[in-house]
Copies of this chain bind each other. A is one copy, B any other.
Amino acid sequence: MKTDSILLDHGSGGRLSHNLISDIMLPIFDNPILSQLHDGAIIDIEGMRLAFSTDTFTVDPIFFPGGHIGDLAINGTVNDIAMCGAMPIYISIGLIIEEGFSILDLEKILKGMHVAAEKARVTVVTGDTKVVPRGTADKIFINTSGIGLISGNVDISSHKALPGDKIILSGTVADHGISVLLQREGINFDSSVMSDTAPLNHMVEAMLATTKKDIHVLRDPTRGGVGTSLNEIAEKSNVGMIISEEKIPIKDEVASVCELLGFDPLYVANEGKLLAFVGSDPADEILATLKENEYGKDAVIIGEVIADNPGKVIMKTRIGGTRIIDMLSGEQLPRIC
């Protein structure tokens, strides 16, 4: 689709976002680090390898079951850095606040950010606050950027998935997106669906302590969900993938809401889950490590990487068929993070 103005879909994390980045941004800033399009950039300063990442949060509503825009913003950047195989250390906060926003709510958000930072063991070292007139922003938007350290022999990138790799998913899908959606629409189910927002860096550290060389790709499937993340990795690594629908963990209440409202949970955002592409031999050991972590107890191997059908993700359905899992082309849920 050609358009001369920005659509919501350009921010969906799906096909149009992908095109905006590939067709407009990459040619302008043309450089090998940016072109990696990892969750964070892997940079070199005087021979030291660092991960550097930025993420902006515009979630609506700003408070939702299981979290709020503040802890989401800390965890989001912590996780982007962790997905580079790095240990996040320092975080910056950039606030855009609408005139008239409640100072009590601001304090609540900032306190939540502090608690999240403590939990992830990162330090907020610098910040910036802009206030814009009423009606020119919606309540509060938060950018976080962060820096982490990559240890010597870690080599993780979306380009490194290899045929034979096992694909691990660390837990249930779609919790975050559905939690925000229900809160936004004021839909009150008896069940309480909660966002899964969480820092994944300690779990990644434990995985790297098990094996460094056999962890090829890490990715937290946020905007666009598991479906879009798998497609991006299939494309960048030029491999195929087969996953099994029945292996994908989903909470009953989340599955029900998805069915009722017509959302495919494979494309709904997660904020405390990761995908890991790991060598076949140590896969069970890595899985066991994940399961010991509070955020990985439902971890499961959902499929594997194949040499056939490069760029394609194929799912064996519950009823025994197969279907292609494509990249999300439209926006299912705007302002989910």
Stretch at the interface among A93-101, A158-166, A280-288, A308-316: A93-101
For the complex formed, measure the closest distance between the CB of A169 and the CB atoms of chain B, giving whole angstroms: 23
Choose from B45, B104, B128 the contact partner of A56 (Cβ within 8 Å): B128
Total number of A residues with any Cβ neighbor in B under 8 Å: 80
Q: Assess whether A125 is interfacial by the CB under 8 Å rule.
A: yes
Q: Is the CB of A17 within 8 A of B89?
A: no
Q: What 0/1 readout, one digit per residue, does chain A (24-47) give for beta carbons within 8 Å of chain B?
A: 110011010110001011010110
A17 to B127, CA, bound (A): 12
Choose from B53, B103, B145 the contact partner of A54 (Cβ within 8 Å): B145
For the complex formed, measure the closest distance between the CB of A311 and the CB atoms of chain B, giving whole angstroms: 23
B-side contacts of A21, CB under 8 Å:
129
Q: Which residue of B lies closest to A117 (CB)?
A: B29
Q: Is the CB of A125 within 8 A of B52?
A: yes
Q: Is the CB of A137 within 8 A of B126?
A: no
Q: Assess whether A58 is interfacial by the CB under 8 Å rule.
A: yes
Q: Is the CB of B143 within 8 A of A33?
A: no
Enumerate 7 A-B pairs (CB-CB under 8 Å) in ascending A order: A6-B97, A8-B99, A10-B97, A11-B132, A53-B92, A133-B335, A143-B145
Residues of chain A whose beta carbon lies under 8 Å from any beta carbon of chain B: 3-12, 17, 20-21, 24-25, 28-29, 31, 33-34, 38, 40-41, 43, 45-46, 48, 50, 52-58, 60, 89-90, 92-104, 106-107, 110-111, 113-114, 117, 123-133, 135-138, 141, 143, 145, 147, 149, 334-335
